[in-house]
Structure 1
Amino acid sequence: MDEYCSAIRKMEHTVMFPSLLRGVYMEQRDDTSTGDFGNKDLYEYYSQLKSIKLTLEGRLLPLNESKHQITSREEATENGEEADLEGLLYHHFRGLYRVLTHLTRKANALTKKYNEIIGQINQE
């Protein structure tokens, strides 16, 4: 998680003019860090990555996620199910780690692309 937050802080310090990212799309490469930006422009990803960081730092769950967890717990209690809590913790932790690693790569790729854009503007 520290790596992700560090990559986002670096991205925030580097990207001084986020509006330059509007309408800019990442070229498709074989590199896994840039291959899955989809059809969103880099400004949308910049905003999304910052929002996720704020959520992580504030320890806040999105409203729909917290409702889902409450409902799941109530259903498990009603059905008399006992969950392997330690197993569930490790399962979700591994998933979170994979997602954060993926998002860290995206933040680093976005920062690199922004530096390329600034370099092209400075050369003109």
Structure 2
Amino acid sequence: MMQISESYKQKNSLYNAMNRFIGAVNNMDHTVMVPSMLRDVPLDEPEDGAKAAAGAPDGVAYFRDGDMYSSYVLLKSIRKDIEWGVLESDEWRKEKAEAEAEEEAPGGSEGDDLEKQFHFHLTGLHAVLSKLTRKADTLTSRYKEEVGCRN
């Protein structure tokens, strides 16, 4: 059986993925001095849009959800939710209570596949955090291009 190094495992941990995302958003937040300049500026490059439209597998299709400003606000909001937690809405609590009632009913499958559910959601969360991190990095780079700041 192939051994995976400890550093590789840690690199791909959820904790590190969240830290990378938060770091990318912090960098974006420190770079973007005038957020209003982001309004009506598309996040994707014109040539990238063609790739996304063609269905590129891990392309920039998820960047095409509006202008740079809406992405900026979204990324900051997600960072806040990760750092401070998410308050449950009344609707979410109602759905949660209904789901718990179904699990407690006779013949329910409480605990049967909790590990599978956890791994499924953990994998999905890791993938989403990676995409959001790339989105924050892309927004930061694009902002620097827009204001004429070159590295």
TM-score using structure 2 length = 0.69
- Report the counterpart of residue 7 of structure 2 in structure 1: none
Question: Once the two structures are superposed, what CA deviation does each residue of 1:90-124 show, in whole Å capped at 9, x if it has no partner?
Answer: 2111110000001001000000000001107xxxx
Query: What's the offset of the Cα at 1:66?
Result: 5.0
Partner residue, 1:16: 33
Counterpart Cα distance in 2 of 1:3 and 1:39: 22
- How far residue 70 of structure 1 moved from its aligned partner, in angstroms, is 3.6
Match of 1:82? 110
Which of these two proteins has the greater Rg computed from alpha carbons? 2
SS class of match (2:148) = helix
Q: Which digits, 9 at most, give the CA deviation of each residue in 1:60-88, with x for residues without a partner? A: 25535554434322222235222322222
Aligned length: 121
Q: In the alignment, which of 83, 96, 100 is matched to residue 57 of structure 1? A: 83
Gaps of 5+ in 1: none
Greater Cα offset, 40-49 or 60-69: 60-69
**Identical aligned pairs, as a percentage?**
38
Find the counterpart in structure 2 of residue 43 from structure 1. 69
User: Which runs of no fewer than 5 residues in structure 2 stay unpaired?
Assistant: 1-17, 53-57
1:92 aligns with 2:118: no
- Segments of 4+ in structure 1 off by > 6 A? none
RMSD: 2.4
Give the whole-Å Cα distance in 2 for the aligned partners of 1:52 and 1:2: 13
Moved more, 98-107 or 71-80: 71-80
CA deviation profile, 1:37-58 (whole Å, cap 9, x unmatched): 2241110010000000000101
Q: Which structure's relative contact order is higher, taking Cα pairs within 8 Å and 6+ residues apart?
A: 1
Distance 1:94 1:100 in 2: 10
Contact 1:33 1:109 in 2 (8 A): no
Q: 1:6 to 1:65 in 2, by over 3 A?
A: farther
